């Protein structure tokens, strides 16, 4: 079995960006740990605790850290794994990092085909990531699209079927570079969710609106594999796309929506989805734009992140809020039980000079 490769990360790498924190209030509350101070408040129940730019443009052992599109928490540890999306002919990598409160790179693996040859950005546009309880990794790719399964060492061991409708046109109705951006698995491992970043062509309204997405639900079988069972409808905020989703409870999803407009910058929003499995099955619906709102999943705005304090962050291009970036990966921890969650966001710098690889930590009161 291939082991994680130890990385000697220079102090200059981890200190190359800015790290800003907000002091915790000193007085504990009856419900648990102290609440963050009012100066960190984004909106009711949401606080921006800190950000870290120390991974930005880092080069370790000849590999550049960037294009990070997914983030997954390793249960019962203080570690996370991060996924790099397409980067030309460079090998597709997973990076491991310690607790975002004190980030430190600890290793990386290359994702490999069953025959041992590495995947590269020319054959795998890795976007969604989940880590299963047995250590296996599931990765979605936007190219075909596909959902592949890798063992803990990064070697491909299987795959999950993707409905034909989700394939890139003309094979299906998806648009290139706007397919399976997210993967989410319930805490008990029973259900797997994925959806496209952009709308399927068949789900666009007569007026050209493209706010509707199909959330594909898979269920785990007795053999441990996942099979597609139904689709439910999800409506995005106008102009936004689905960047990631996390199942933080058996009946709850947290969805990260993103949008970018020149001169305004990024406007990410967090939404909680209530019991997606209870929504009507829309698999057979020809066009989601024609269904009534009651036939879609119920979602609730948790936070408009542009309302967070900047914490002193800076980017190299126009932003309404300089703390914002192209956040594409998300993880959720519930260290204090259901309700108060630690939400980590990682940004995709697209390997662009003016963009930043940023790790943002939020404390969020989840419904």
Residue range 223-243: mean pLDDT, rounded: 97
pLDDT grade for 33, boundaries at 50, 70 and 90? low
pLDDT tens for residues 256-283?
999 999 999 999 999 999 999 999 999 9
Residue 124 sits in which domain range? Answer: 11-365
Check residue 116 and give its pLDDT.
Answer: 97
Check residue 12 and give its pLDDT.
Answer: 30
User: Does residue 166 lie in a domain region?
Assistant: yes
User: Does residue 5 lie in a domain region?
Assistant: no
Judge whether 363 and 302 are in contact, CB under 8 Å.
Answer: no
For the ranges 15-19, 106-110, 238-242, 342-346, which has the lowest average pLDDT? Answer: 15-19
pLDDT grade for 32, boundaries at 50, 70 and 90? low
pLDDT grade for 25, boundaries at 50, 70 and 90? very low
Judge whether 291 and 234 are in contact, CB under 8 Å.
Answer: no
pLDDT tens for residues 202-232?
999 999 999 999 999 999 999 999 999 999 9
Judge whether 214 and 200 are in contact, CB under 8 Å.
Answer: yes
User: Which of 200, 186, 224 has the alpha carbon at shortest distance from 282?
Assistant: 200
CA dihedral of 52, 57, 62, 67, whole degrees rounded to 10: 90
Above pLDDT 90, what percent of the chain? 80
Judge whether 248 and 339 are in contact, CB under 8 Å.
Answer: no
31-68 b/e with 16+ CB inside 10 Å = b?
A: eeeebbeeebbbeeebbbbbbbbbbbbbebeebbbbbb
DSSP per-residue string spanning 50-96: EEE-TTTT-EETTEE---EEEEEE-TTSS-EEEEE---TTSBPEEEE
pLDDT grade for 64, boundaries at 50, 70 and 90? confident
For the ranges 54-63, 111-120, 295-304, 347-356, which has the lowest average pLDDT? Answer: 54-63
Phi, psi dihedral angles at 269 (to 5 degrees): -135, 150
What is the number of structural domains in the chain? 1
Indicate if the pLDDT at residue 158 is higher than 50.
yes
Indicate if the pLDDT at residue 17 is higher than 80.
no
Check residue 230 and give its pLDDT.
Answer: 97
Residue range 156-163: mean pLDDT, rounded: 97
User: Does residue 143 lie in a domain region?
Assistant: yes
Q: Other CB atoms closer than 10 Å to residue 306's CB: what's the count? A: 17
Residues 6+ apart with CB under 8 A from 309: 22, 39, 40, 41, 42, 48, 323
Above pLDDT 70, what percent of the chain? 90
Check residue 36 and give its pLDDT.
Answer: 87
Check residue 153 and give its pLDDT.
Answer: 95
- Residue 338: C-alpha distances to residues 27, 211, 275, 335, 357 (Å): 21, 30, 15, 8, 29
DSSP per-residue string spanning 293-341: GGGB-EEEEEEEGGGS--TT---SS--SSTT---EEEEEEE-TTSSSEE
Judge whether 67 and 349 are in contact, CB under 8 Å.
Answer: yes
* Average pLDDT value for the chain: 89
82-105 b/e with 16+ CB inside 10 Å = b?
A: bbbbbbeebbbbbbbbeebeebeb
pLDDT tens for residues 161-218?
999 999 999 999 999 999 999 999 999 999 999 999 999 999 999 999 999 999 999 9
- CATH classification at residue 143: 2.115.10
User: Does residue 3 lie in a domain region?
Assistant: no
pLDDT tens for residues 134-148?
999 999 999 999 999
Check residue 337 and give its pLDDT.
Answer: 64
Indicate if the pLDDT at residue 245 is higher than 90.
yes
Residues 6+ apart with CB under 8 A from 62: none
User: Does residue 6 lie in a domain region?
Assistant: no
Indicate if the pLDDT at residue 48 is higher than 70.
yes
Region at 168 (left for phi over 0; alpha for psi -120 to 50; beta for the rest): beta
Check residue 11 and give its pLDDT.
Answer: 32
More confident site: 175 or 33: 175
Judge whether 241 and 234 are in contact, CB under 8 Å.
Answer: no
- In whole angstroms, give the CA distance from residue 155 to residue 120: 13
User: Does residue 4 lie in a domain region?
Assistant: no
Greatest extent of the chain over all pairs of C-alpha atoms, in Å: 60
Indicate if the pLDDT at residue 91 is higher than 50.
yes
pLDDT grade for 336, boundaries at 50, 70 and 90? low
Burial of 235 (0-12, 13-18, 19+ CB in 10 A): middle
User: Does residue 324 lie in a domain region?
Assistant: yes
User: Does residue 2 lie in a domain region?
Assistant: no
- In whole angstroms, give the CA distance from residue 18 to residue 348: 17
Check residue 29 and give its pLDDT.
Answer: 40
Check residue 193 and give its pLDDT.
Answer: 98
- Residue 225: C-alpha distances to residues 161, 189, 220 (Å): 10, 11, 5
- Residue 170: C-alpha distances to residues 70, 145, 200, 215 (Å): 28, 13, 12, 21
């Amino acid at each position: 079995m291939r082991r994680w490769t130890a990385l000697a990360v220079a102090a200059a790498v981890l200190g190359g960006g800015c790290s800003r924190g907000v002091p915790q209030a000193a007085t504990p509350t009856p419900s648990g740990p102290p609440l963050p101070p009012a100066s960190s408040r984004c909106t009711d129940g949401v606080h921006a605790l800190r950000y870290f730019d120390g991974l930005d443009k880092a080069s370790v052992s000849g590999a550049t850290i960037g294009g990070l599109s997914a983030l997954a928490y390793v249960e019962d540890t203080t570690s996370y794994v991060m996924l790099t999306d397409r980067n030309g002919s460079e090998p597709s990598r997973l990076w491991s990092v310690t607790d975002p409160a004190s980030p430190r790179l600890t290793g990386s693996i290359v994702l490999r085909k069953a025959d041992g040859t590495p995947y590269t950005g020319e054959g795998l546009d890795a976007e969604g990531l989940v880590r299963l309880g047995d250590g296996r990794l599931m990765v979605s790719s936007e190219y075909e699209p596909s959902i592949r399964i890798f063992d803990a060492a990064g070697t491909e061991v299987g795959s999950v079927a993707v409905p034909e409708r989700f394939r890139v046109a003309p094979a299906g109705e998806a648009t290139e570079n706007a397919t399976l951006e997210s993967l989410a698995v319930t805490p008990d491992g029973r259900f797997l969710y994925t959806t496209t970043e952009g709308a399927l062509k068949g789900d666009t309204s007569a007026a050209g609106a493209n706010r509707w997405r199909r959330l594909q639900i898979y269920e785990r079988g007795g053999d441990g594999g996942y099979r597609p069972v139904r689709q439910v409808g999800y409506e995005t905020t106008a102009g936004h796309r689905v960047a990631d989703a996390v199942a933080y409870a058996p009946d709850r999803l947290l969805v990260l929506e993103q949008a970018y407009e020149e001169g305004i910058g990024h406007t990410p929003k967090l939404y909680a989805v209530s019991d997606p499995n209870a929504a009507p099955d829309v698999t057979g619906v020809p066009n989601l734009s024609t269904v009534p709102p009651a036939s879609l999943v119920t979602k609730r705005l948790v936070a408009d992140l542009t309302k967070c304090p900047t914490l002193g962050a800076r980017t190299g291009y126009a932003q309404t809020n300089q703390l914002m970036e192209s956040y594409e990966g998300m993880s959720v921890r519930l260290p204090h039980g259901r309700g108060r969650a630690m939400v980590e966001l990682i940004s995709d710098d697209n390997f662009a000079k003016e963009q930043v690889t940023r790790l943002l930590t939020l404390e969020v009161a989840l419904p």
